């Protein structure tokens, strides 16, 4: 009896995984085919397409669109898709793909490596094998697979520059882990997708992500808006606090919102949620109309803002959008009304 092998498409985009040493430093040169050849026999029917050959520092909204279109085009021809990608912006790409390809009907798994595949002790072969296994077995969704963990793409963050455990699933457990039992799934491997997959690559990249620091001049926010910025994510302090003495960030937020610029307040802390209702410095911002990012990653918050603005939505619609769990990117608690009374 012949067992039907799963059909998996590898879309290769470059990154360290495909890099070689050159006089100019590491540059992505290896093709997807070369990556596959380094893995030896795999129990899948693999097709390869090279769509980009970039360090992921060069991956921007134009490339997100191309990757999303390629996935959409192939979503009914394969059982799963693996996207090889540089690690530096992989969490941004994974988050944006989740918004652009809502209700995706197959597993799409991004992976890369900290060390080029042609180096003896590279992490690339393990990461690629994991990505293929995830693409063959996970529920439909956008994932990031790295260092024996499979995470929801919109919850992943790059947290290390050198060590192999470069990514973490923030505020939710990984979807699956590799143990001696193989790929072991958590309960999260349940697909919520019941609707038709849509491709919507309309985004507005004219946004800013600002990390608040003591002494930050709120006038700079208005300068950004003057230069065309249409929405701002502020990584505020702790639960979402902002200063209002001397330099009035809270007042600036209110003014921007009255001008029609959505301002999202997230936390500089990587873990756990922002909750603007707790302290006066958060409540004031909330009263001025700041929109809470709750427990979203900054990568998800900024890509969600770009996508929402791309739909032509105003401040109220963006607030509504951020109060909605669209692709698993945010935890909305049942009675989480964020009222300040
Ligand atoms: N490890 C990596 O892939 C880093 C590389 N600079 C990239 O993001 O393309």
pLDDT at 86 over 70: yes
Which residue is catalytic, options 2, 13, 47, 87?
A: 87
Tell me what pLDDT residue 337 has: 55
Q: Which residues contact 5 (CB under 8 A, 6 or more apart)?
A: 43, 44, 45
pLDDT tens, position by position, 102-115 = 999 999 999 999 99
pLDDT tens, position by position, 277-305 = 888 888 888 989 999 999 999 999 999 99
pLDDT, mean over the chain: 95
All domains of the chain in start order, with CATH: 6-185 (3.40.50.1170), 207-322 (3.40.50.40)
3-state secondary structure of 305: helix
C-beta of residue 237 within 8 angstroms of C-beta of residue 260 = no
pLDDT at 335 over 60: no
Residues 114-124, buried b or exposed e (16+ Cβ, 10 A)?
bbbbbeeebbb
Tell me what pLDDT residue 279 has: 86
User: ipTM of the assembly?
Assistant: 0.97
Query: Best substitution site from 25, 35, 54, 56 to test ligand 1's pocket, by max atoms within 8 Å of Cβ?
Result: 56
Is residue 66 classed exposed, middle or buried when 0-12, 13-18 and 19+ CB atoms within 10 A define those classes? middle
Q: Which residues are annotated as a binding site for substrate?
A: 56, 87-88
Tell me what pLDDT residue 315 has: 98
Nearest one of 35, 38, 44 to 11, comparing CA atoms: 35
Lookup: tokens for 95:
């988050």
Looking at ligand 1, which residue's alpha carbon is closest to its atom 1?
Answer: 114
């Amino acid at each position: 009896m012949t067992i039907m092998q799963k059909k998996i498409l590898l879309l290769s985009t470059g990154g360290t995984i495909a890099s070689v040493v050159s006089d100019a430093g590491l540059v992505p040169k290896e093709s997807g085919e070369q990556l596959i050849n380094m893995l030896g026999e795999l129990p899948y029917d693999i097709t390869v397409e090279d769509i980009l050959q970039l360090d992921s520092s060069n991956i921007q909204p134009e490339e997100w669109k191309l990757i999303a279109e390629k996935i959409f085009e192939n979503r009914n021809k394969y059982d799963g898709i693996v996207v090889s990608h540089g690690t530096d912006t992989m969490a941004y790409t994974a988050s944006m793909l989740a918004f652009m390809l809502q209700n995706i009907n197959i597993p799409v798994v991004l992976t890369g490596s900290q060390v080029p595949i042609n180096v003896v002790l590279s992490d690339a072969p393990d990461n690629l094998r994991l990505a293929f296994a995830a693409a063959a077995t996970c529920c439909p969704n956008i994932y990031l697979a790295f260092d024996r963990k499979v995470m929801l793409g919109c919850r992943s963050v790059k947290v290390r520059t050198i060590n192999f455990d470069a990514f973490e699933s923030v505020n939710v457990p990984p979807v699956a882990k590799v143990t001696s039992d193989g790929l072991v799934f958590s309960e999260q491997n349940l697909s919520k997708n019941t609707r038709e997959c849509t491709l919507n690559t309309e985004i507005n990249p004219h946004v800013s992500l600002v990390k608040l620091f003591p002494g930050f001049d709120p006038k700079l926010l208005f300068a950004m808006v003057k230069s065309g910025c249409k929405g701002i994510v502020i990584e505020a302090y702790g639960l979402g606090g902002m200063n209002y003495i001397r330099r009035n960030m809270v007042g600036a937020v209110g003014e921007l919102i009255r001008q029609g610029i959505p301002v999202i307040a997230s936390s500089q802390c990587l873990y756990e949620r922002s909750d603007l209702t707790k302290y006066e410095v958060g409540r004031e911002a909330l009263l001025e109309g700041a929109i809470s990012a709750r427990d979203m990653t900054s990568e998800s918050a900024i890509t969600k803002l770009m996508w929402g603005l791309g739909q032509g939505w105003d401040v109220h619609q963006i607030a509504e959008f951020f109060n909605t769990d669209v692709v698993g990117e945010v935890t909305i608690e049942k009675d989480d009304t964020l009222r300040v009374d």
